[in-house]
Amino acid sequence: MGTRDAILDAAAAVMAEQGLANVTTRQIARTAGFTEAALYKHFTNKADLLVAVMRERSPGFGWLAEALHGKAGTGDVVDTLTAIAAAAITFYSGGFPMFASMFADPDTLAAHKAEIRRKDVGPHKVNEAIAAYLRAEQQQGRLNPAADAQAAAGLLIGACFQQAFLGHMSTPAHPDPHEAAAAFARTLYTSLAP
């Protein structure tokens, strides 16, 4: 394992345990077994490191991309929406401990927002990708062309986000994440069906 991978692994573990705002780059480097200078050879700042952790170490992130890739016009729409929802629930569930403290520290939040703008990534990209999938399905005649794809994407992701949040705070209506994903997908499809 290379230095960058070791730092990413350490950052993911430490951030999940203590929250982003409570962790320093020195602490992450030390946990990885390197100096802070070694960390800065690979990442420009803590916000850059967080974006890399989210993209490369967050459960669900890769699965979400995989769930969307090349799916329009193939397979069962409900199955695809279920895979998307399951990936989103997994991603948000894993990310809450890491992200929550970021909102308590305005400087960390501002740095993170600047970094995601600089790299042209961020939570809105998930909605855009799902909306694009839904529009492609509309063009194939597999979904109602009058449905608002952007709104439908927001409804699906919002339900997944709440499922993950409730999983940390109380008992969600569907305690099993896969059952929740399937229920969200079926319900959304009912309103989108041609």
Indicate whether 121 and 171 sit together in one domain.
Answer: yes
Task: State the pLDDT at residue 66.
Answer: 66
Residue 158's domain spans which residues?
Answer: 58-192
Q: How many domains does the chain have?
A: 2
CATH code, domain carrying 99 = 1.10.357
d(CA 94, CA 141): 35
Convert 42-103 into a string of H (helix), E (strand) and C (coil). Answer: HCCCHHHHHHHHHHHHCCCHHHHHHHHCCCCCCCCHHHHHHHHHHHHHHHHHHHHHHHHHHH
Using an 8 Å Cβ cutoff, are 41 and 85 in contact? no
Asked if 107 and 187 sit in the same domain, the reply is yes
92, 8: one domain: no
Determine, yes or no, domain membership for 53.
no
Q: Output the pLDDT for position 46.
A: 80
Write the CB contacts of 38 (distance below 8 Å, at least 6 apart in sequence). Answer: 3, 7, 29
The model carries a pTM of: 0.77
**d(C-alpha 115, C-alpha 192), whole Å:** 35
Within this chain, do residues 118 and 186 fall inside the same structural domain, yes or no?
A: yes
Q: What is the pLDDT of residue 191?
A: 94
Judge contact between 155 and 126, C-beta under 8 A. no
Whole-number pLDDT of residue 60: 55
pLDDT of residue 104: 75
Mean pLDDT for each consecutive 10-residue tract of the chain (194 residues)?
88 80 85 91 83 70 68 91 91 77 75 77 81 95 97 96 88 86 97 94
Scanning 100-122, the segments in alpha helix (DSSP H) are 106-118
Same domain, 2 and 62: no
